[in-house]
Amino acid sequence: MIRRLERYFLTGTLVLLPIAVVIYLGVWVWDTSDVFFMALLRLLGVGVPPWLTPLLPALGLLSTAVLILLVGMLAGHWLGRQLITGLEHLVNLVPLVRDVYNAVKQISSSFFTRPEVHFSRAALVEYPRRGSYSLCFVVQKVEDRFKPLPPGHTVVVVPTSPVPASGFVIVVPEEDLIPLDMKVEDALRFVVSAGFLLPGNNNSPAE
């Protein structure tokens, strides 16, 4: 009974944590979005009429969105890319700032960019030792591009839980892969949930 409650608690945490983070970020953006708008008004030397005060969060959010769009448009052109490259070069000259900037850049890139790799199917591979099996995603066949290896090898990604993107790549013989009657999306949910959401059981925790 206790172990079942622990599983339910962990599953509830996995469900509510992303929602809580999104709500927190939304409230934070709403509460702080007027800072940019107020700074813009001060720069232009314009005062804020009293009737405009209740609208400041919405106006700040709108002006922030416009700024992001303008920066995105600028970054899509050659001049903008050169400016960003120069800015990053200056940032990389400062040790501590460089580490923070690169870490945030990697995190934001992983969230907002779509991966170019599309897995063909999910499978099992006997790894890391005989008698134990890891879920993996098949990427492509090696063909003859790895000369020391005989033909019939396949590149697979073994994901880590609960963050599949931190997995690693291994090359295995095709005959060592155990096919799974499972969609790639279901396999990803299985990995992200640390094995609690088994495919084919209506996404409920394993008993």
Same domain, 98 and 49: yes
* Token pair of 88 as six digits: 């990053």
Same domain, 134 and 105: no
Residue 69 lies in a domain: yes
Residue 202 lies in a domain: no
Q: Give pLDDT, residue 12.
A: 76
Q: Which of 69, 84, 112 is the last residue of a domain?
A: 112
Indicate the helix (H) or strand (E) that contains 140. strand 133-141
Regarding pTM above 0.95, the answer is no
* Token pair of 202 as six digits: 């209506």
* Domain extent for 66: 2-112
Indicate the helix (H) or strand (E) that contains 33. none
Residue 20 lies in a domain: yes
| CB 197, CB 203: distance < 8 Å | yes
| CB 161, CB 188: distance < 8 Å | no
Same domain, 133 and 106: no
pLDDT tens, per residue, the chain with 207 residues? 777 777 777 777 767 777 787 788 777 777 777 776 777 777 777 776 677 667 777 777 777 777 778 878 887 788 878 888 888 888 888 887 788 777 777 666 655 555 555 688 999 999 888 889 999 999 888 877 777 788 888 889 998 887 777 788 899 999 999 999 888 888 888 888 877 777 765 444 444
* Token pair of 47 as six digits: 């005062």
Residue 185 lies in a domain: yes
